[in-house]
Amino acid sequence: MRERMRTTAVAAVAVALSAALAAPAAAAGPGGGRTGDNDGHKATVRAVKAAVEGGVPGVTLRAEDRRGVWTTTAGVGNLRTERPRSPRDRYRVGSITKTFVATVLLQLEAEGRLSLDDTVDSWLPGLVTGNGHDGTRITLRQLLNHTSGIFNYTADEDFGRTYFLKDGFFEHRYDTLDPEELVRVAMSHKPDFAPGAGWHYSNTNYVLAGMVIEKATGRPYGEEIRRRVIKPLHLNGTSVPGNRTGVPAPGSRAYGKLTEDGSGPVHDVTRLNPSMASSAGEMISDSKDLNRFYRALLTGRLLPKKQLDTMTDTVAVDDRNGYGLGLMSTELSCGVTVWGHGGGIHGSISDAVTTRDGRHSLAFNFNGDWTGDPGAVIEAEYCGD
């Protein structure tokens, strides 16, 4: 579950799958969409090839702009059989899940069922407490824009050894973890700062947000996402897996090294129980659906103007990146600003972004988590030749 500002998959997986939780080699080539037509996407082709040449097993990518739909793939989806990746691949999207969760919470606000100024404790009494954490002082808005100060549970060293490094992962990959357990891990640490006094990416924020959705609606957050987003937009490749350990076909294998420094042999990490990510990063999707989702969101099909304006009101992360409510903005080198989110989970690094008007969308996935530069692919698509 990595934030896109992180550039190494090692940080995403070993320290955390810690945040988006984002953000090898075979011949590369175009596939699908405007087959063989790279006009306007030549830099993107080079960036995708570079990712594979740098060690990513395979890449699948889909771009949509005024010229239509364009897809490309590179590398392989299965290192053993050398089967290529497909434009139709489904994959774990990690922290891209956060945008779906924030969208549902904002829909509930628009319906008058909650307020972003409600405290966490008013919905989840007594849960956020201990070591300086105080849910009576933290608002739902602060959960969604990562200004709560709540410790990031995936940064806990014991949690990391148990679920992100080799020995622990293979022993515990099928464990079922309740959201309350994840929050308790965070509560065993001091907060990063007082509520509202800073910005720090924390997966715990979105575990809590998912729990608030369930409390407000009486239904699991995943059911609300299916009912409010997946079905209305006909996102047929998108799912909230819960405890299901596989990725629905069509899909590729996912690979990781399960080490802190990205060294060592490659392991197939496709199967796992995504409850370790919960509403911070468990979802599965494909590039077509992600483009459709972000385009619909940014053009007002999912939220009233008031809530969309609130979602896109960002906290500065650095001189080029801002974080709204489950939505990132990034100003690229050529002056174009894109909106979306990145995500990483074992063996899978993904990004999905679009321009504010929804006219140029991009979604892609690396099926390896220890190398590759997603930012270079985004720069190439929007700022290249």
pLDDT at position 164 over 50:
yes
The one catalytic residue in 95, 252, 287, 361 is: 95
User: From its phi and psi, is residue 335 left (phi > 0), alpha (psi between -120 and 50) or beta?
Assistant: left
pLDDT at position 82 over 80:
yes
pLDDT at position 176 over 80:
yes
Asked if 330 and 4 count as a contact pair (C-beta separation under 8 A), the reply is yes
pLDDT of residue 39: 72
Q: Which residue has the higher pLDDT, 324 or 17?
A: 324
Question: What are the pLDDT digits (tens) for 188-209?
Answer: 999 999 999 999 999 999 999 9
- Per-residue pLDDT, averaged over 136-147, amounts to 98
- Per-residue pLDDT, averaged over 216-235, amounts to 98
Question: What are the pLDDT digits (tens) for 321-361?
Answer: 999 999 999 999 999 999 999 999 999 999 999 999 999 99
Question: What are the pLDDT digits (tens) for 353-383?
Answer: 999 999 999 999 999 999 999 999 999 999 9
Share of the chain above pLDDT 90, in %: 89
- Per-residue pLDDT, averaged over 110-128, amounts to 98
Is 95 labeled as catalytic in the residue annotation? yes
> Residue 1: which pLDDT band, with cuts at 50, 70 and 90?
low
pLDDT of residue 37: 59
Output the six-digit token pair for 361. Answer: 């969308």
Question: What are the pLDDT digits (tens) for 278-335?
Answer: 999 999 999 999 999 999 999 999 999 999 999 999 999 999 999 999 999 999 999 9
- Per-residue pLDDT, averaged over 66-73, amounts to 97
pTM across the whole model: 0.93
Least Cα distance to 340 among 327, 357, 321 occurs for 327
Return the bridge partners of 349, or none. Answer: 344, 366
Work out the mean pLDDT of the chain and round it to a whole number.
Answer: 92
Asked if 349 and 100 count as a contact pair (C-beta separation under 8 A), the reply is no
pLDDT at position 274 over 80:
yes
